[in-house]
Amino acid sequence: MENKIAIQGIKGSFHHQVVLEYYKQDLAIDECLSFEDLVGSLLKEKSTQAVMAIENSIAGSIIPNYALIDKYDLQVIGEYHIPIQQNLLALYGQDLEDIREVHSHPMALLQCMDFLQKYPHIKLVEDKDTAETAQRISNQKITGIAAIGSEVAAEMYQLEILAPSIQTIKNNMTRFVILSKQKVEIPQADISKASLKFELDHKRGSLAAILNVMSDCKLNLTKIQSMPIIETPFKYSFFVDVTFEVYKDYEKAKSIIKIMAEKFKILGEYKNNPI
Amino acid sequence: MENKIAIQGIKGSFHHQVVLEYYKQDLAIDECLSFEDLVGSLLKEKSTQAVMAIENSIAGSIIPNYALIDKYDLQVIGEYHIPIQQNLLALYGQDLEDIREVHSHPMALLQCMDFLQKYPHIKLVEDKDTAETAQRISNQKITGIAAIGSEVAAEMYQLEILAPSIQTIKNNMTRFVILSKQKVEIPQADISKASLKFELDHKRGSLAAILNVMSDCKLNLTKIQSMPIIETPFKYSFFVDVTFEVYKDYEKAKSIIKIMAEKFKILGEYKNNPI
């Protein structure tokens, strides 16, 4: 199969920006309207790999996406970070005063609320997708309505940036994971990060014991997230990301944790690609 | 000031259900259209306490709400859990076959997707608030359109439950916190849980060291959540919930962690109120 990358949203979205920067080439894209569709694209082999937002510095982990990776046994084969810069986009030749409405995804509207509140004459209208709105404004030559989106979207749909970097929190870094259906062979020397999942009884010190093993084996914890397992009260599952310099250290930790924790699962082993 | 409770959404929402069950009396309600408004209601003393959803078993922590509690130094003074049961609601006398559209909050639509996909003739329309939609259908006697909501909403707006418990994951427990602007004195003997926040350097084993102290002091960890501090790479903040039987044990842990961690902050000390 030809290399094709599934993204959430359409071309010009932040997911598309990740494809351009991570793969450094113009690959075929499968535009998916939801994260479920994105997983479906991989499972049905409509695409070879997928890019999925997994956490950001404002909203934290996107837990439903962790659940999707876990449920469908997808492989995390890489990661990429980009700063989310939102801009107010409209047809060329318009001023801010001409804009009566801003259409965008509720999350994008929320991210730009401080800016938007300075313009009470502008009505906020919730929409499905940020890039799709930009595309519609461009295709249908809609005046008086602005979209919120990336520089990539502005360029792609030939819209003017009426106001740059309008998100409230200026430094909103988002982490994306690169996914595949089957395991992709990565040379051991290139593996420096792993995403793990395990379950623990609600016994005092059980998590501390696991973290001690990780620390003894020279693993650095870059992320930890507990999730109550509702069907079995007082049991917890943990999603943990670790980085390491020597693969053998990680291998040793793995073999110990496998014995100490329940339902130990490796979501992926890949190259650490920090911000 | 008279006792008044701020909730997110309107009467008949899950937040309202928490008020009815937690306070066991019919208190005055301040209906807030967003979590930001809910915080504003407390800060401007339009309400004495507030109920805020903080995590659920599907989507995990609602990190922006943690950020709000932290930013405005609100006090967590209690907690309450309810199972989220979504129902398809419409005017009495209609059948499922009569329904052409379902209007609801995107999150509620998502929670019920498996059910809704069985009825491809029903169009899904995103709306702001689940209970508000139920109220509108009731007030304006709208036929052909259904809402998604709780039993409380069905009762309050005299709608018929066309299909009960339609959410995909049958056991979706949601945890709410009870908030106040100022600290509320709770007798020490009644305090058995605490919500803590602290920062750590990205030094190997630093989190394990803190968890060891907690374990030594007989604290049980019920929740842990890391958040990268984007302004200072490789530094992390942690939100941790602990339960304990003896307040003195907790006090001892507190005094040690205060020395070991940076920016140690107590978001609240309250009565453990498990599922």
The pLDDT mean for chain A works out to: 90
Q: What are the CA-CA distances from residue A163 to residues A31, A116, A123, A168, A227 (Å)?
A: 27, 11, 17, 13, 40
CA distance A124 to A101: 6
Give the residue on B whose Cα is nearest the Cα of A114. Answer: B36
- Give me the pLDDT at residue B58, please: 65
Tell me the average pLDDT across A4-10: 94
- Give me the pLDDT at residue B5, please: 98
- A208–B205 CB contact, under 8 Å: no
- Give me the pLDDT at residue A155, please: 93
Does the pLDDT value for residue B45 go beyond 80? yes
Judged by DSSP in three states, B235 sits in: strand
Judged by DSSP in three states, B1 sits in: coil
Distance from CA of A2 to the nearest CA of B (A): 31
Tell me the average pLDDT across A113-142: 88
- Give me the pLDDT at residue B1, please: 65
pLDDT in tens, A8-17: 988 988 999 9
Judged by DSSP in three states, B74 sits in: coil
Ordered structural domains, chain B, with CATH: 4-84+172-179 (3.40.190.10), 87-163 (3.40.190.10), 192-268 (3.30.70.260)
In this complex, the residue of B173, B225, B228 whose CB is nearest that of residue A57 is B228
Residues ≥6 apart with Cβ < 8 Å to B117: none
Report the percent of chain A where pLDDT is more than 90.
65
Give the residue on B whose Cα is nearest the Cα of A227. Answer: B60
- Give me the pLDDT at residue B97, please: 92
Which residues in chain B have their CB less than 8 angstroms from residue A128's CB? Answer: 126
- B211–A208 CB contact, under 8 Å: yes
Please check whether residue A26 is in contact with residue A148, taking contact to mean a CB–CB distance below 8 angstroms. Answer: no
- A205–B215 CB contact, under 8 Å: yes
CA distance B53 to B192: 20
Which residues in chain A have their CB less than 8 angstroms from residue B226's CB? Answer: 221, 223-225
Which residues in chain A have their CB less than 8 angstroms from residue B36's CB? Answer: 113
- B233–A57 CB contact, under 8 Å: no
Among A163-177, B156-170, B243-257, top mean pLDDT goes to B243-257
CA distance B37 to B43: 10
Please check whether residue B176 is in contact with residue B257, taking contact to mean a CB–CB distance below 8 angstroms. Answer: no
Q: Is A38 left (phi over 0), alpha (psi -120 to 50) or beta?
A: alpha
Please check whether residue A174 is in contact with residue A53, taking contact to mean a CB–CB distance below 8 angstroms. Answer: yes
Q: Residue A186's pLDDT band (boundaries 50, 70, 90)?
A: very high
- Give me the pLDDT at residue A148, please: 94
Interface test with A, best of B34, B79, B225 (most A CBs within 10 A): B225
Tell me the average pLDDT across A245-259: 96
pLDDT in tens, B179-229: 999 999 999 999 999 999 999 877 788 899 999 999 999 999 988 988 877
CA distance A150 to A89: 9
Interface test with A, best of B69, B85, B104, B227 (most A CBs within 10 A): B227
Tell me the residues of B at the A interface, defined by beta carbons under 8 Å apart.
36, 57-61, 63-64, 67, 106, 113, 126, 128, 171-173, 202, 204-205, 207-208, 211-212, 214-215, 218-228, 230-231, 233, 238, 274-275
Give the residue on A whose Cα is nearest the Cα of B64. Answer: A59
Give the residue on B whose Cα is nearest the Cα of A275. Answer: B233
Tell me the average pLDDT across B5-25: 93
Place of tokens 């052409």: B100
The distance in angstroms from the start CA to the end CA of chain B is 32
Distance from CA of A112 to the nearest CA of B (A): 14
DSSP for chain A reads ---EEEEES-TTSHHHHHHHHHH-S--EEEEESSHHHHHHHHHTTS-SEEEEEEEETTTEE-HHHHHHHHHTT-EEEEEEEEE---EEEE-TT--GGG--EEEE-HHHHHHTHHHHTT-TTSEEEE-S-HHHHHHHHHHTT--SEEEEE-HHHHHHTT-EEEES---SSS--EEEEEEEESS-----GGG--EEEEEEEEES-TTHHHHHHHHHHHTTPEEEEEEEEE-TTSTTEEEEEEEEE-S-HHHHHHHHHHHHHHSEEEEEEEEE-----
- B63–A64 CB contact, under 8 Å: no
Q: Residue B131's pLDDT band (boundaries 50, 70, 90)?
A: confident
Place of tokens 């339902």: A263
Interface test with B, best of A225, A240, A244 (most B CBs within 10 A): A225
Residues ≥6 apart with Cβ < 8 Å to B193: B79, B222, B241, B242, B243, B244, B269, B270, B271, B272, B273
Residue type, B148: I
pLDDT in tens, A203-221: 788 899 999 999 999 999 9
pLDDT in tens, B89-127: 999 999 999 999 999 887 788 778 889 888 888 888 878
Report the percent of chain B where pLDDT is more than 70.
96
- B61–A60 CB contact, under 8 Å: yes
pLDDT in tens, B234-246: 678 899 999 999 9
pLDDT in tens, A30-71: 999 888 899 999 999 999 999 999 987 766 777 778 888 998
A115 HSE (CA, 13 A, CB side):
20
- B204–A219 CB contact, under 8 Å: yes
Strand A101-104 versus strand A123-126 pairing type: parallel
Please check whether residue A204 is in contact with residue B218, taking contact to mean a CB–CB distance below 8 angstroms. Answer: yes
Tell me the average pLDDT across A228-252: 85
**Neighbour-count burial of A119, counting CB atoms closer than 10 A to its CB (0-12 exposed, 13-18 middle, 19+ buried):** middle
pLDDT in tens, B134-154: 999 999 999 999 999 999 899
Judged by DSSP in three states, B174 sits in: strand
Interface test with B, best of A36, A55, A63 (most B CBs within 10 A): A63
- A207–B218 CB contact, under 8 Å: no
- Give me the pLDDT at residue B187, please: 93
